[in-house]
Amino acid sequence: MTAPIIKQLPLSFGQADKTDVRTQFAALCYRVKNDKIQVLLVTSRGSGRWIMPKGWPMDGKTPAESAAREAWEEAGVHGTPDSRPLGLFSYSKVLDDVDYDLPCVAMVYGVKVKSLADAFPEAGQRTRKWVSRKKAASMVDEPELSRILRDFDPRALY
């Protein structure tokens, strides 16, 4: 027996308190090249560490659509998001304009990359890199994200 696919409706959010856990949506961007699965990582704008594209929920967009939009803005990805989450990871988001970090949980969605644009909103602010799942898992800081990357198999999405 397989689980039914539940259609995610667009979300709408109100204001949150500074101690509330925030939700972000992340894009695990991938391709298959020479029968090898590769994932795309980008550098963060602040520290330059390796991350996957992620961002805040967007009114009127599903979580998968929000993740795909972040993949475009941060990495120039043209791709197809899968509506089923791959997992989640937690982290503290460092904000420059306040004296505290925000606790966050990021839901991860697979995005099959069709192409990469040379010009995209954050092109001059980030570096992108294609790597193996194993290499990507060693490059990120969050243990839960590392596990998601290591265990990712796009064949399970179809």
**pLDDT tens sequence across 97-139:** 777 788 899 999 999 999 999 999 999 999 999 999 999 999 9
Query: What pLDDT is stored for residue 21 in this prediction?
Result: 85
DSSP for 46-85, please give it.
Answer: SS--EE--EE---TTS-HHHHHHHHHHHHH-EEEEEEEEE
Please give the backbone phi and psi of residue 116, each rounded to the nearest 5 degrees, phi first: -115, 135
Ordered by start, the domain boundaries in the chain are 22-157
Which pTM was predicted?
Answer: 0.85
Q: Judge residue 66's burial from the number of C-beta atoms within 10 Å of its C-beta, 0-12 exposed, 13-18 middle, 19 or more buried.
A: buried
CB 140, CB 146: distance < 8 Å: yes
Fold designation for 22-157? Nucleoside Triphosphate Pyrophosphohydrolase (3.90.79)
Mean pLDDT by 10 residues, the chain (158 residues): 51 58 95 95 93 95 97 98 95 78 92 98 97 98 96 84
Q: Nearest-5° angle of CA 53, CA 57, CA 58?
A: 105
Query: What pLDDT is stored for residue 20 in this prediction?
Result: 80
Query: What pLDDT is stored for residue 8 in this prediction?
Result: 52
**Torsional class of 156: left (φ above 0), alpha (ψ -120 to 50), beta (otherwise):** alpha
Cα separation, 9 vs 63, in Å, equals 9
Cα separation, 42 vs 38, in Å, equals 13
Query: What pLDDT is stored for residue 16 in this prediction?
Result: 58
Helix (H) or strand (E) holding 132: strand 128-132
CB 59, CB 11: distance < 8 Å: yes
